[in-house]
């Protein structure tokens, strides 16, 4: 049995930020992550779909420094390089597959959307480098939590199905509340209203899918197009230039078809439909990418639950407590959805982690 001052569940942006902030305050923390990689919904991949230090963002891509100071501060703290989302050129609008797409002058976006060089995963890599390698436990699922006299006893399961016990004085669960409610057993059980709130909180990205077409050059720019498109016809509803800071050319789109409809067709069929659409919007060159990527978050069991098959909008800010009853003081929630500002966004993940760590340190100082 291992024992830590704090166990952080989830090695996404929020979990790694929490672990980094705890370490800076001299707190011994263990990060427990079910995936074989860090990042959670932050996933920057190469053309083969593997994690990359110069990848395409299969999860969140953008942040807005002027509106999201928590994320701006993180970028500055680790001296990460950022660049403006490409938007120069005309925007394409498609009403139906039978009608010729229309081109319109682009509207200047203020403030502009920003991206990180190397992909959004550059932020999680920077945080992870500040942590000891043995403080991050990958391929390990938290199956249960039990209140004990010294804090919380966690039952965990490794990739081989073997179970182990980890004790912690406090737990910071940096996961979507809905995923916590669906996958972790609590003893004593969470109060009904609390569990219901967790279950009813939409998980950002969970119902969505992103398609990427990777090319040898950004040919649409030479044609006077920004790479931005809106479509009623689909299957993609919104498309953008996904070219990296290093110049690796790509277009990406949010699939406008619902999760249950996506599940009814093969991945290859959906990819072909996306390429046909890109050809309609951007011309024949779009039909011949050097690679394609499709990330359907709705079929990722470490992100989505069955409740996430239907999009339910963006998480909303509420003033009531995320943790109540006997668990108050032993468990904190730090998933982006729990943030008091920008819930669901990258900045929300940072803010939620900051709040959880601050509350823990305040209670320790009061003891």
Higher pLDDT, 80 or 318: 80
Burial class (CB in 10 A: 0-12, 13-18, 19+), 302: middle
Task: Return the closest-CA partner of residue 356 out of 365, 343, 338, 202.
Answer: 338
At residue 366 the predicted structure's pLDDT band, cuts being 50, 70 and 90, is low
Q: What is the mean pLDDT of the chain?
A: 95
Domains of the chain are 2-42+123-204+304-366 (3.50.50.60), 45-119+207-299 (3.90.660.10)
From the DSSP assignment, how many helices (H) and strands (E) are in the chain?
A: 9, 19
Burial class (CB in 10 A: 0-12, 13-18, 19+), 320: exposed
Is residue 367 over pLDDT 70?
no
Give percent of the chain above pLDDT 90. Answer: 92
Is residue 288 over pLDDT 60?
yes
Summarised one tens digit per residue, pLDDT across range 148-205 is 999 999 999 999 999 999 999 999 999 999 999 999 999 999 999 999 999 999 999 9
Residue 313: predicted pLDDT: 73
Residue 197 φ then ψ, to 5°: -65, -45
């Amino acid at each position: 049995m291992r024992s830590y001052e704090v166990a952080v569940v989830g090695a996404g942006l929020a979990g790694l930020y929490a672990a980094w902030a705890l370490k800076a305050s001299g707190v011994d923390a263990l990060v427990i992550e079910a995936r074989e990689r860090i990042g959670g919904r932050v996933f920057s991949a190469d053309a083969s779909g593997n994690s990359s230090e110069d990848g395409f963002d299969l999860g969140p891509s953008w942040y807005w420094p002027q509106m999201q100071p928590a994320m701006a501060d993180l970028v500055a703290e680790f001296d990460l390089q950022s660049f403006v989302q490409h938007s120069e050129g005309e925007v394409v609008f498609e009403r139906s597959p039978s009608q010729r797409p229309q081109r319109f002058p682009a509207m200047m976006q203020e403030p502009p959307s920003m991206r990180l060089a190397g992909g959004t995963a550059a932020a999680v890599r920077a945080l992870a480098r500040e942590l000891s390698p043995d403080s991050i436990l990958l391929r390990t699922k938290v199956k249960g939590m039990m209140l004990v006299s010294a804090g919380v006893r966690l039952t965990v399961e490794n990739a081989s199905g073997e179970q182990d016990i980890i004790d912690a004085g406090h737990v910071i669960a940096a996961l979507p509340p809905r995923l916590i409610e669906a996958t972790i057993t609590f003893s004593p059980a969470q109060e009904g209203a609390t569990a219901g709130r967790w279950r009813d909180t939409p998980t950002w990205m969970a119902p969505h899918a992103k398609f990427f077409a990777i090319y040898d050059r950004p040919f649409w720019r030479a044609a006077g197009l920004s790479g931005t498109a809106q479509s009623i016809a689909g299957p993609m509803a919104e498309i953008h230039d996904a070219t990296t800071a290093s110049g690796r050319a790509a277009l990406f789109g949010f699939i406008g078809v619902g999760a249950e409809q996506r599940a009814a067709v093969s991945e290859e069929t959906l990819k072909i439909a996306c390429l046909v659409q890109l050809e309609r919007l951007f011309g024949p060159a779009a039909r011949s990418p050097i690679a394609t990527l499709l990330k359907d978050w709705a079929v990722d069991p470490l992100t989505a639950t069955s409740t996430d098959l239907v999009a339910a909008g963006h998480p909303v800010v509420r003033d009531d407590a995320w943790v109540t009853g006997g668990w108050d003081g032993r468990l904190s929630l730090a998933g982006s959805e729990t943030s008091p500002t920008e819930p669901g966004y990258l900045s929300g993940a940072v803010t939620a982690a900051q709040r959880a760590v601050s509350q823990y340190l305040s209670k320790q100082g009061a003891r």
